[in-house]
Structure 1
Amino acid sequence: MSTAAPALAVVHTAVFAAVPAQVGSARAWAVTTSGLPDDAAADLALITSELATNACRHSCSARPGGAYTLTLTRHEDRVRITVTDAGPRAVGAGRRPQPATGAEESGRGLALVAAFAHAWGVDNDTGGTRVWAEVRTAPDAGA
């Protein structure tokens, strides 16, 4: 009977200004830090772009001087990217976020995250919002 302990996760953290011009830097940091192979790195890049953009557009982090934190956790079989921001901005009275229609150019970010991530979720129990997504370290891992 094997009693080997599971491998410990490796965690990296970086903080980025919540401005659109920093999304590319966040994406590059995640891909470089992850050490993922090309296909998985491309998925991580897309996911990081979407989550970072959402922090810049839809959170209180988008206020002047605001920031969000990226946390990359490398497990043996997957990489988890987490974006932590200052929480949602208030939606105007009587307005609710609506799903994108076919003609709109934005509004599909979380649908893309869901399509490219192995798993993803949202936690709002921190006074802010944490959105995370996982990418497998190998295409056949867990299949």
Structure 2
Amino acid sequence: MSPPTTDRRTVRIPWAPSAAPRVRRTLVEDLTDRGIDGEVINEAEIVVSELVANAVRHARPLSDGSIRVHWKVRNGVVEVEVSDGGGPTAPKPSPRTTWGLSGRGLRIVRSLAHEWGVADDAAGRTVWASLGGPSRRRTH
């Protein structure tokens, strides 16, 4: 398969945990086809998994019942976005705990991403992460 001509890709997935494996596969295949560094691909796969899981667990779906996953590539840097309908609290990494059964997702994202942030708008919330280098965004 030849590499995509565009540097952007967007997929909509159902607001359900079962959709995460499909979007991971699509992301990994797309980034592999583009010749992105394997380490950046692995990091992007983990990050998109965590962001989708958080969207399903802590937020509402977009108005059409979906979650939007968008990624773009520039000079080997991958920026991943997951948009949902927003939730009651702002996304932030949970404090470290020895016995906690959840709450590690954004700590994982923070540890892998060069940068990450949250953007709210009238439609909901987007959590984004830049992998392999800095993004062109300057807001967190």
Instruction: Report TM bin, short chain.
Output: 0.7 to 0.9
Residue in structure 2 matching 1:34, options 31, 34, 42: 31
Q: Per the alignment, in what secondary structure is the counterpart of residue 61 of structure 1?
A: coil
Letter in 1 for 2:44: L
Deviation at 1:98, TM superposition (A): 6.2
Between the aligned partners of 1:74 and 1:126, the Cα distance in structure 2 is 26
Deviation at 1:103, TM superposition (A): 0.4
Aligned pairs for 1:1-143 (under 5 A) are 10-35=7-32, 36-61=36-61, 66-88=65-87, 90=88, 99=95, 101-136=97-132
Structure 2 gaps, min length 5? 1-5, 134-140
RMSD (Å) for aligned C-alpha atoms? 2.4
Decide whether the 8 Å contact of 2:7 with 2:73 is kept in 1. yes
Deviation at 1:125, TM superposition (A): 2.3
- Cα-to-partner distance string for 1:60-90 (whole Å, 9 max, x where unaligned): 1199x721001111111301010011111x3
Decide whether the 8 Å contact of 2:44 with 2:131 is kept in 1. yes
- Cα-to-partner distance string for 1:2-53 (whole Å, 9 max, x where unaligned): xxxxxxx711100001111111111111111223232111111110000000
- Summarize the Cα distance change of 1:98–1:133 in structure 2 as closer, same or farther, 3 Å threshold: closer
Structure 1 gaps, min length 5? 1-8, 92-96, 138-143
- Summarize the Cα distance change of 1:62–1:108 in structure 2 as closer, same or farther, 3 Å threshold: farther
Between the aligned partners of 2:13 and 2:107, the Cα distance in structure 1 is 24
- Summarize the Cα distance change of 1:62–1:21 in structure 2 as closer, same or farther, 3 Å threshold: farther
Between the aligned partners of 2:125 and 2:78, the Cα distance in structure 1 is 19
Letter in 1 for 2:17: P
Q: Per the alignment, in what secondary structure is the counterpart of residue 61 of structure 2?
A: helix
- The structure whose Rg is larger is 1
TM-score (norm 1): 0.76
Decide whether the 8 Å contact of 1:56 with 1:62 is kept in 2. no
Q: Per the alignment, in what secondary structure is the counterpart of residue 28 of structure 2?
A: helix
Q: What percentage of aligned pairs have identical amino acids? A: 29
